[in-house]
Amino acid sequence: MPLPTAHSTVVPEARRRPTTKLYLRPLAVLSREAARQALAAGFGLPLGRAGAFLACELSCRGSGSLEQKVLPTAELRAWAAARGSAFEQALERQLARLANPAPMPRLSSCPGKAATGPSIMGVINVTPDSFSDGGRFLDPGAAIAHGERLHDEGADILDVGGESTRPGAAPVPAEEEIRRVVPVVRALAGAGRPVSIDTRKTVVMRAALDAGAAMINDISALRHDPDSLAIAGASGAPVILMHSRGEPATMQHRPHYERVSLDIFDHLEQRIQLWESAGFARSRLLLDPGIGFGKTLDHNLEILQRLDLYRSLGLPLVLGVSRKSFVARICGDLQETERLPGSLAAALFGLAHGISLLRVHDVGATRQAVRLWQAITDASVDCLQRSV
């Protein structure tokens, strides 16, 4: 495989930054036997437990500019050394996280189960107004039955939410949200199903955890309530920190970023640092760039194109693209239930670029696509092994 040649661009930035920050995105990624041979031959750098990368994109942001450069991995350390010890330290820190990322955390409801491949989170909206299935599962009995179907179709985690966070949605009082979700969480968790609570409210987190929820999925990255960090941290449960901007009712009103992929990286990194400074284990976190939450179509596409960037944070990555409006913006005027092919395309692209957990409505179809993707990947490895 030919290596990308060195290339750099400089783009003006709207806001001056006092220091220059380094971001690293792995490119020319190999897996399994190909990665092992590349590393044994002395070229490429390790990426996770069975991967390698041969080149990377370096972004340096600060002092009013954004510089981007693509280099072969063999030149990385010399490049950093020429720029000083701060760059060398930043490079080594990110290379270490790329080489040894945290695994998917185990849930307390199934402590013996370790993920061996991409995981699937099934969506259960106990709401009257969610963008895709609002009203279908507002009745607790219907929501519980739906959760059991998703489990039977292959969902590893069931994500129960009682407040729609679609663009334009109005907030729901905490008492009503608790009334919606707790019976569903209690029934599914009581049946031994791994359950996540999708909420940004501390009191709802607490009630759902008491009812048996084993994971917290917060679109505000624990910013919405002042007590969220303490409650989530003390729970011992894994937590998904998602990037979003503004409130659901207004988040799609002209969202603006300097560089959306880098701004999201900075936001997630800051939330991780706050979590760690409170004394909680980094290994309990998962990260979601928040497709569609305060982003335009162009923002969403840039995030997807640069998903590998977030691998240098060293934590499992979550992707929620299921049935979202950007699919219809690209593929035509499609209703939510007509967006499965586009959702699968985006999901499989995510898996190829480091995603560990897919949050989806269509569990059975996604499980089938993931199994085929894994089989093709494994078959290509077998062919390579037989040829050497």
CB atoms within 10 A of CB 62: 15
Please say whether the dihedral angle defined by the alpha carbons of residues 25, 27, 33 and 37, taken in this order, is positive or negative: negative
Residue 41, CB-side half-sphere exposure with 13 Å CA sphere: 10
The upper half-sphere exposure of residue 15, i.e. CA atoms within 13 Å in the direction of its Cβ, equals 8
Concerning whether 295 is annotated as a catalytic residue, the answer is no
> Would you state the structure tokens that stand for residue 202, as one six-digit string?
């501390």
Identify the active-site residue in 359, 367, 371, 386. 359
Helix (H) or strand (E) holding 286: strand 285-288
* Selected catalytic residue, list 166, 324, 339, 367: 324
How far, CA to CA in Å, does 231 sit from each of 110, 167, 237, 277, 318?
22, 27, 10, 15, 22
> Which residue from 171, 177, 145, 173 is spatially nearest to 158, judged by alpha carbons?
145
Expressed in angstroms, the distance from the first to the final Cα of the chain is 16
The residue whose two tokens read 């991967």 is 51
User: Which DSSP symbol is given to 63?
Assistant: T
Antiparallel, parallel or unpaired: β 7-12 and 65-72: antiparallel
> At residue 290, what are phi and psi to the nearest 5 degrees?
75, 55
Which residue has tokens 């790329």? 98
- Strands 157-161 vs 119-125: parallel, antiparallel or unpaired: parallel
Q: Which residues pair with 31 in a beta bridge?
A: 51
Contact 258, 235 (CB under 8 A): no
Name the residue with tokens 């370096």. Answer: 58
Say whether 49 is catalytic. Answer: no
Cite the active site residues.
324, 359
